[in-house]
């Protein structure tokens, strides 16, 4: 029986309580983590695409649920799509809390790297093998981008498009020292060594909503980690914007988070 060495400082991690609805065990070096909350048919559509691509032969597919109540995550259905585990976050917190829970679970299981894709079926999982290849070659942070050559941005709300291009990506590029183009995307991948770095320290209760995404885009390049962007397709359905960010208050919160990240307010030293 193989034993997994406990990550250094593991006892100090702040992660939400959770339940494991089912877990079939680790079978690959890499994992595809999908954060979900009440995505209904969208998560089934995404899982269908993943199954058709045969991605289960490359990664272990794991879902971290934020407390769905729509009945879309029945274990029997998920296992038909080759999902190996369903972890349910308990207690408060939104996306960043979900991700902390999911990342901690997968690092505890010994994965070398984690690809994350949103469960709302906006991203094309066909590029997942590109992310894994990059991780295997020594890249630490792979970011999806619809705005570089080969990328596709379809039906992106105009206000969001402008906010990313004119504010969010330029600010993170300036303050991190890496040229980012698509910084609000949750479709990304991280190496194990980056997530375990005490100078990164992602497992803190300060990351509750969308803070973790902006923080890691700022912090990883600052620490010299190898970062790249890869072209991907991101498609919004006509007449519907599947997002958990509300129009005015939510966007203001995203901008506030951006400024905090860029001015180092989420850095470990700033939180002591």
Beta strands 60-65; 30-36: pairing state: parallel
* 14-271, CATH topology level: Spore Coat Polysaccharide Biosynthesis Protein SpsA; Chain A (3.90.550)
What gap in Å lies between CA 31 and CA 105, rounded to an integer? Answer: 11
Task: Report pLDDT for 168.
Answer: 96
Residue 57 pLDDT? 98
pLDDT of residue 94: 94
Q: What is the DSSP code string of 145-207?
A: ESSSTT-EEES--HHHHHHIIIIIHHHHHHHHSS--S-TT---EEEEHHHHH-TTT---STT-
Strands (E) in 90-146, as ranges, are 113-116, 141-145
H/E segment holding residue 46: helix 41-52
pLDDT of residue 231: 98
> What is the pLDDT at residue 247?
58
Which of 155, 172, 159, 114 shows the shortest CA–CA distance to 239? 155
Give the pLDDT of residue 193.
98
pLDDT at 209: 94
Q: Which of 35, 42, 151, 153 is nearest to 94 (CA)?
A: 35
- CA distance to 39, 62, 65, 192, 197, per residue, from 20 (Å): 19, 11, 10, 22, 26
According to DSSP, the β-strands at 83-89 and 18-23 are: antiparallel
Answering whether pTM is above 0.75, one says: yes
Is 140:250 a contact under the CB 8 Å cutoff?
no
- The tens-digit pLDDT sequence of the chain (272 residues) is 456 778 988 999 999 999 999 999 999 999 999 999 999 999 999 999 999 999 999 999 999 999 999 999 999 999 999 999 999 999 899 999 999 999 999 999 999 999 999 999 999 999 999 999 999 999 999 999 999 999 999 999 998 899 999 999 999 999 999 999 999 999 999 999 999 999 999 999 999 999 999 999 999 999 999 999 999 999 999 865 555 545 566 678 889 999 999 999 999 987 76
**75, 97 Cβ separation under 8 angstroms:** no
pLDDT, position 91: 87
Q: Which two tokens stand for residue 205?
A: 């209760």
pLDDT at 66: 96
Looking at residue 4, its pLDDT comes to 77
- Cα separation, 241 vs 217, in Å, equals 24
Whole-angstrom CA distances from 82 to 66, 79, 101 are 20, 5, 21
Instruction: Supply the DSSP symbol for 240.
Output: -
Nearest-angstrom CA–CA distance, 162 and 18: 37
């Amino acid at each position: 029986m193989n034993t997994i060495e406990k990550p250094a400082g593991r006892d100090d991690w702040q992660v939400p309580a959770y339940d494991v609805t089912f877990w079939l065990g680790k079978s690959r070096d890499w994992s595809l983590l999908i954060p979900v909350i009440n995505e209904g048919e969208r998560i089934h559509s995404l899982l269908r695409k993943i199954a058709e691509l045969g991605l289960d032969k490359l990664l272990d597919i794991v879902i971290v649920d934020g407390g769905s109540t729509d009945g879309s995550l029945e274990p029997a259905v998920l296992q038909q799509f080759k999902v190996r585990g369903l972890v349910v976050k308990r207690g408060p917190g939104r996306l960043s809390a979900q991700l902390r829970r999911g990342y901690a679970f997968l690092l505890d299981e010994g994965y070398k790297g984690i690809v994350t894709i949103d469960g709302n079926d906006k991203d094309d999982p066909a590029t997942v093998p590109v992310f894994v290849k990059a991780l295997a070659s020594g890249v630490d942070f792979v970011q999806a981008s619809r705005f570089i050559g080969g990328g596709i941005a379809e039906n992106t709300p105009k206000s969001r498009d402008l906010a990313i291009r004119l504010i969010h990506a330029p600010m993170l590029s300036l303050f991190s020292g890496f040229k980012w183009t698509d910084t609000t995307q949750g479709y990304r991948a991280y190496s194990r060594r980056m997530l375990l770095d005490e100078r990164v320290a992602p497992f803190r209760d300060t990351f509750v909503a969308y803070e973790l995404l902006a923080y890691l885009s700022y912090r990883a390049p600052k620490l010299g980690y190898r970062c790249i962007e890869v072209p991907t397709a991101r498609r919004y359905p006509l007449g519907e914007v599947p997002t958990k960010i509300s129009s005015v208050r939510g966007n203001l919160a995203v901008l506030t988070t951006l400024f905090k990240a860029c001015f180092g307010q989420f850095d470990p030293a700033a939180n002591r």
